C-alpha cells in the first residue's frame, strides 16, 4: 500500500479506514440513507414482534447487541389484578393485602390522611410490643388488643362479656347453693319457682363468703305476660329449702296519700275539688261534680276491698290539716243499675253501674283551743260562711268541697274493658302467640332433624 501523503511517525498494528467515497458526496449520502433504512427495517421487525408475540422475546439491535424485551401482551398480563393507587377494590382470600416488617420489633401500621395531608389515624402495630391497635389521631384515642389477650381503651381495660357476670353464663338449671360464684351477676331463670309460687326473672347479685349458711341475693320480677310486673328480693341460703322473699314497693305499686303516707296501690284516683289525677291502672276514670261536696267517679266498679285500705267499706283516705286533724267527713254510695240515683232520684243507667258517688262534709273539732280554731279557719276559709257582716264556722257535717291544696284518695275496682286491663289482655295474647310461634318453630326443627336422620339411614 502506497500512502498518498507522508506520515510523520511510525505506526504499528494501527487500524485504518479506507474511504470508498468522498465525505459529503452523493455516494456518501446514499450509503448513509441505506444504513438508516436497514436500521428502520430492523426496528420495524422488533416493533412487530413486540406487538404480536407473547411472553419475553430476544431481539437484536442495529448495533448488534441482544436485548430481552417484554411484549405488550406480557406487560398487560403482569398488570392484570394489580391495585391502582388512584383507588379501587381488592378481592381474594387469605391475606390479599398485607404489610411485611423489614425490621424486628418496629412499628408497622397503615395510616389514613385527609385532603390536607393531616393524619386521621392508623391501624396496626403502634410500637415494639406485639399488640394491634386502632388509633384515632384526631380524637387522641386508641383501642388496643394486647398480646396478653386484653382489650384496652386509652390504657384502661375494657369490660368484656362474662366479666363480673355480665353477659356470662345463665343461672338456668345451675343454681347450686353449695357452690358459690363470688362477685358475679347472673340471670335467674323463670323456670325456677320460689316460696311465693311465682315464676321470676332477674339477677343474682352476690354470694356471701364460703362456709355454711352462705347465701345468694336475687333481684327478680314476675314472669309471664304482665306488662307491669312486681319486683322482689330473694335470699337463697345453702341450708334453706326455700328462699326468703321480699316484695319491693315502687312508684308502680304504691302511692302517697293526701297526708303524705306511702300506701299500697292498684287503681288509685286522687279526687280534688274540681278535677282528678289517675295512675296507670285507673286510666279511663272520669269525674262528674254533681253539687257542693258531691262527686261521681265514672267507669269504675266500686271500691277495692284491700284490707290495708279498710276492707270492703274502706278504700278512701281523707286529708288532715294542722295538728293532724282530719279536715272533712266522707261518705259514699256505689250505684246499681236500675235503682234510684241518691242525688237526683232517677234510675241509674246501665253505663253508670258501679260508679261511686262521694259526699264530703265539714268536720268540726269541738275541743280545740280558740287560738288553734282561729288559725284553722284562717287557713281554710271555705269552712266558714257569711252571716250578716261576720264570717262564722260551718255546722258540723255541712256539705263542703274538698279543701284547696288537698285531695282524697280512692282505691277503686276497674272493669274488664278498662284501658289497663285491655293492655294486659293484649300483652297476654301477644305472649301466647309468641309461645305458639316458638313451639311451631321447635316442632318444625325437630321434624327437619328427623328427616335428616331418615335420609342418612337411607344412604347407609
For the stretch 44-91, pLDDT in tens is 888 888 889 888 989 888 888 898 989 988 888 888 877 777 777 777
| Rounded Cα distance, 420 and 413, in Å | 12
What radius of gyration, in Å, describes the C-alpha atoms of the chain? 49
Report whether pLDDT(180) > 50.
Answer: no
Indicate if 264 and 365 belong to the same structural domain.
yes
Give me the mean pLDDT over the 245-251 stretch.
Answer: 77
Q: What is the DSSP string of 94-158?
A: S-SS----SSTT--EEEEEE-TTS-EEEEEEE-SSSS-EEEEETTTTEEEEE-TTS-EEETTEEP
Q: What is the DSSP letter of 92?
A: -
Percent of the chain exceeding pLDDT 70 equals 72
Indicate if 432 and 312 belong to the same structural domain.
no
Backbone angles phi, psi at 158, to 5 degrees: -85, 135
Give the CA-trace dihedral at 161, 164, 167, 170, to 10 degrees.
140
Neighbour-count burial of 315, counting CB atoms closer than 10 A to its CB (0-12 exposed, 13-18 middle, 19+ buried)? buried
Indicate if 149 and 237 belong to the same structural domain.
no
Q: Identify any residues that bridge with 221 across adjacent strands, giving them in sequence order.
A: 201, 231
Expressed as residue numbers, the domain containing 409 is 255-415
**pLDDT at site 183:** 47
222 touches 200 (CB < 8 A): yes
**pLDDT at site 204:** 57
Indicate if 313 and 195 belong to the same structural domain.
no
Q: Is residue 342 part of a domain?
A: yes
Report whether pLDDT(416) > 90.
Answer: no
Contacts of 244 (CB under 8 A, 6+ apart): 195, 234, 235, 237
Total count of domains within the chain? 5
Q: Is residue 5 part of a domain?
A: no
Indicate if 289 and 216 belong to the same structural domain.
no
Indicate if 264 and 364 belong to the same structural domain.
yes
Indicate if 434 and 406 belong to the same structural domain.
no
**pLDDT at site 178:** 42
**pLDDT at site 329:** 96
The band of 171, judged by pLDDT with boundaries at 50, 70 and 90, is: very low
**pLDDT at site 179:** 46
Q: Is residue 95 part of a domain?
A: no
- Using CA of residue 278, residue 282, residue 288, residue 294, what is the dihedral sign? negative
Indicate if 276 and 329 belong to the same structural domain.
yes
C-alpha cell at 14: 494501527
- pTM tops 0.75, yes or no: no
**pLDDT at site 20:** 64
**pLDDT at site 33:** 79
Cβ neighbours around 281 below 10 Å, total: 22
Give me the mean pLDDT over the 195-199 stretch.
Answer: 46
**pLDDT at site 7:** 62
Q: Is residue 19 part of a domain?
A: no
Q: Is residue 94 part of a domain?
A: no
Q: Is residue 103 part of a domain?
A: no
Indicate if 123 and 241 belong to the same structural domain.
no
| Rounded Cα distance, 261 and 350, in Å | 36
458 sits in which H/E element: helix 419-459
Q: Is residue 64 part of a domain?
A: yes
Indicate if 410 and 423 belong to the same structural domain.
no
**pLDDT at site 383:** 94
298 sits in which H/E element: strand 294-298
- Using CA of residue 192, residue 197, residue 198, residue 204, what is the dihedral sign? negative
Amino acid at each position: 500500500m502506497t500512502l498518498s501523503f507522508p506520515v510523520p511517525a511510525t505506526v504499528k498494528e494501527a487500524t485504518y479506514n479506507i474511504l470508498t467515497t468522498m465525505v459529503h458526496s452523493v455516494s456518501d449520502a446514499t450509503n448513509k440513507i441505506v444504513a438508516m433504512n436497514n436500521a428502520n427495517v430492523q426496528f420495524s421487525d422488533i416493533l412487530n414482534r413486540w406487538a404480536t408475540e407473547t411472553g419475553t422475546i430476544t431481539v437484536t439491535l442495529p448495533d448488534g447487541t441482544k436485548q430481552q424485551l417484554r411484549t405488550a401482551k406480557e406487560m398487560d398480563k403482569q398488570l392484570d389484578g394489580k391495585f391502582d393507587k388512584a383507588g379501587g377494590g381488592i378481592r381474594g382470600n387469605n391475606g390479599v393485602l398485607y404489610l411485611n416488617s423489614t425490621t424486628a420489633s418496629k412499628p408497622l401500621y397503615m395510616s389514613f390522611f385527609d385532603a390536607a395531608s393531616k393524619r386521621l389515624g392508623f391501624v396496626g402495630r403502634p410500637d415494639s410490643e406485639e399488640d394491634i391497635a386502632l388509633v384515632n389521631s384526631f380524637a387522641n384515642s386508641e383501642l388496643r388488643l394486647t398480646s396478653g389477650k386484653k382489650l384496652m381503651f386509652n390504657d384502661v381495660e375494657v369490660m368484656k362479656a362474662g366479666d363480673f357476670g355480665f353477659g356470662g353464663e345463665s343461672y338456668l338449671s345451675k343454681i347450686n347453693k353449695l357452690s358459690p360464684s363470688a362477685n358475679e351477676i347472673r340471670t335467674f331463670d323463670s323456670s325456677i319457682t320460689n316460696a311465693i309460687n311465682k315464676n321470676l326473672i332477674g339477677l343474682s347479685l352476690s354470694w356471701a363468703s364460703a362456709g355454711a349458711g352462705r347465701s345468694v341475693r336475687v333481684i327478680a320480677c314476675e314472669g309471664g305476660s304482665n306488662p307491669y310486673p312486681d319486683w322482689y328480693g330473694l335470699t337463697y341460703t345453702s341450708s334453706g329449702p326455700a328462699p326468703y322473699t321480699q316484695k319491693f314497693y315502687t312508684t308502680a305499686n304504691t302511692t302517697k296519700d293526701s297526708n303524705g303516707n306511702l300506701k299500697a296501690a292498684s287503681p288509685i284516683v286522687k279526687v280534688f275539688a274540681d278535677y282528678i289525677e289517675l295512675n296507670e291502672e285507673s286510666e279511663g276514670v272520669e269525674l262528674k261534680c254533681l253539687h257542693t261536696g258531691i262527686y261521681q267517679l265514672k267507669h269504675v266498679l266500686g271500691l277495692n276491698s284491700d284490707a290495708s285500705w279498710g276492707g270492703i267499706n274502706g278504700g278512701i283516705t281523707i286529708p288532715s290539716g294542722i295538728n293532724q286533724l282530719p279536715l272533712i267527713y266522707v261518705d259514699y254510695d256505689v250505684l246499681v243499675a236500675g235503682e234510684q240515683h241518691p242525688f237526683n232520684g232517677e234510675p241509674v243507667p246501665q253505663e253508670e253501674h258501679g260508679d261511686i258517688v262521694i259526699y264530703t262534709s265539714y268536720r268540726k273539732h269541738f275541743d280545740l283551743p280558740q287560738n288553734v280554731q282561729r288559725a284553722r279557719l284562717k287557713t281554710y276559709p271555705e269552712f266558714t260562711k257569711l252571716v250578716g257582716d261576720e264570717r262564722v264556722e260551718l255546722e258540723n257535717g255541712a256539705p263542703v268541697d274538698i279543701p284547696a291544696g288537698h285531695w282524697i284518695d280512692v282505691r277503686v275496682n276497674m272493669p274488664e274493658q278498662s284501658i289497663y286491663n285491655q293492655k294486659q289482655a293484649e300483652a297476654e295474647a301477644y305472649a301466647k302467640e309468641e309461645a305458639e310461634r316458638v313451639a311451631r318453630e321447635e316442632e318444625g326443627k325437630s321434624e327437619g332433624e328427623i328427616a335428616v336422620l331418615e335420609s342418612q339411614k337411607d344412604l347407609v
